[in-house]
Amino acid sequence: MKKAITPQKRDKSLVPLSREHHFGLLFCWKIRQGLKNGTDLKVISNYVSYFWNNILKEHCQEEEWLLNRVLPANDTAQIRLEEEHRLLHEIIALICEGKRLSSALFNTLQQDLVDHIRWEERELFPYLQAVVRNDELELTGKLLEHKHEPRIDGFTPEFWTKPVTAA
């Protein structure tokens, strides 16, 4: 039997990043739907490139900035976050290169990103809330607000609703 997951109380300074995690999970769902629909892999590759350049790259940079600000350089959570971001970027670079596109590559990306987001939400953010002073977390949240602009996923065609072939 599956254990019910209790929603985490999120510090308001982490809410903008947490909200974007929803977009990341939706990105993964769209990839899965596109593969299920038989969408041309080049179309999905274009979406991955779009999402990286318009949403995910800057999101990763903001998370790394936040952790660099509030944790010591040798903190294992910070090291793990940066390593997972590097691995995700390497997979995205392979996809954007477009030479050896395969469903397996897209599945690896979406599964690794889902796992990464779940780790951040269930372990990293509660850890930050426990080890970082409240005033420091609040100040970091205010600084993040100034750098953080709401991002919108406006990619077309919406291949996750019906199959699309490359033009």
Instruction: State the SS3 of 42-102.
Output: HHHHHHHHHHHHHHHHHHHHHHHHHHHHHCCCCCHHHHHHHHHHHHHHHHHHHHHHCCCCC
CB 59 within 8 A of CB 117: no
Flag whether 130 is in a domain: yes
Question: Do the domain assignments include residue 8?
Answer: no
pLDDT of residue 19: 85
Mean pLDDT on 27-50: 97
Query: pTM for the full model?
Result: 0.90
Residue 100 forms part of a structural domain: yes
Q: Which residues of 2-18 are buried (b: 16+ CB within 10 A; e: fewer)?
A: eeeeeeeeebebbebbb
Domain with 51, as residue range(s), is 25-147
- Residue 19 maps to a domain: no
Structure tokens at 83: 């390593």
What does the alpha-carbon distance between residue 147 and residue 41 come to, in Å, rounded to a whole number? 34
pLDDT > 60? residue 116: yes
Residue 115 has a pLDDT of 98
Residue 154, in any domain of the structure? no
φ, ψ (nearest 5 deg) of residue 20: -70, -25
Flag whether 120 is in a domain.
yes
pLDDT band (50, 70, 90) for residue 90: very high
Which range, of 12-16, 117-121, 155-159, averages the lowest pLDDT? 12-16
Share of the chain above pLDDT 70, in %: 93
Residue 5 within a domain: no
| 77: in domain | yes
Check residue 2 and give its pLDDT.
59
| Tally of structural domains, the chain | 1
